Amino acid sequence: MKKRFDLVAIDLDQTLLGPDHQIPEVNQRAVHCLFDMGIHVVIASGRMHEATLRYYRQLDLDDPIISYNGAMVRRPATGETWRHLRMPADCASEIVSYCIKNHHHLNYYLDDQLYVAERGEWAEFYFRQTQSVIHEVGDLEQFEGKEPTKLILIAEPEVVADMLPRFRSRYGDRLYITTTNPEYLEFMNPTASKESAIQIVCKRLKIPADRVIAFGDSDNDIGMLQWAGVGVAMGNAKPHVLKIADYIAPPYDQNGLAAAIMDLFREDQR
């Protein structure tokens, strides 16, 4: 039987990964079933590229990685970078100054390295979530004039919820601003998105949208889910993400990814 799909794009946190931030064995087996069917598997994450590599290697992937919410597309197997969008330097400097003045923690991502002013409570919180290598540099103003790939302001969820509309109003179309965790307020190049990144990958691989399945759970996944032939929201996703999905998988902590793959590809396995 001819397979219906050629590429599967998978978000990491609360999609591929379990509550312990590891890949459950059942999800790993499901991904390997996709390999056996000749299907491309692409990680599509908000994390920095470096923080996706251990999962890429664990799954023995070969396709490009989408990272930084689509600001970077890089293929580790060849070292090729297919896309790298940076933030405007003036916007980055303003956000650094704001965080210093208001005593907010800020993650500063430059050349796929993560810098913080000091390794305090919020840096440790982020490390527990991602295991990313963190460089403590004392003063982020030393990067004045640089164009980082991404910034993340980390604070209590209610603080982030209050700041999100205010920052969006301030920067308008000069930045892409989103939340991926309740504690994360993320800033990127205005043209960055998982949707536009997966389009780049599919154009390179000559795969049309209707032959793509995308899995995700958060606001930064919405465009990708809507663009793909089948957009799959995890059962733990926010209500407005569930609303736009073509298919709703069980929650991530119930091995929802594996269950959805087995269901969606049932005909292809006969």
- Give the whole-number percent of the chain exceeding pLDDT 90: 93
Q: Tens of pLDDT along 222-253?
A: 999 999 999 999 999 989 999 999 999 999 99
Tell me the backbone φ, ψ of residue 39, rounded to 5 degrees.
-100, 135
Delimit the domains of the chain by residue range: 7-84+192-269, 89-188
The answer, yes or no, to whether residue 270 has pLDDT greater than 60, is: no
> What pLDDT, on a 0 to 100 scale, did the predictor assign at position 4?
86
Q: Tens of pLDDT along 101-126?
A: 999 999 999 999 999 999 999 999 99
What CATH code would you report for 7-84+192-269?
A: 3.40.50.1000
Q: Do domains 7-84+192-269 and 89-188 have the same CATH topology?
A: no
Asked if CATH classification 3.30.300.30 holds for the domain at 89-188, the reply, yes or no, is: no
CA 147 – CA 139 distance, rounded (Å): 16
Q: How confident is residue 1, by pLDDT bands cut at 50, 70 and 90?
A: very low
CA 84 – CA 95 distance, rounded (Å): 21
The answer, yes or no, to whether residue 76 has pLDDT greater than 80, is: yes
**Which positions ≥6 away from 108 have C-beta within 8 Å?**
92, 96, 114, 115, 116, 140, 143, 148, 151
> What pLDDT, on a 0 to 100 scale, did the predictor assign at position 2?
52
**Which positions ≥6 away from 18 have C-beta within 8 Å?**
24, 27, 252, 253
The answer, yes or no, to whether residue 28 has pLDDT greater than 90, is: yes
Q: Are 14 and 234 in contact (CB under 8 A)?
A: yes
Mean of pLDDT values over 67-85 = 95
Question: What are 78's two structure tokens?
Answer: 């060849």
**Helix 256-264 vs helix 25-36: crossing angle, to nearest 10:** 30
- Give the whole-number percent of the chain exceeding pLDDT 70: 97
Q: Tens of pLDDT along 144-195?
A: 999 999 999 999 999 999 999 999 999 999 999 998 889 999 999 999 999 9
Q: How far apart are the first and last CA of the chain?
A: 8
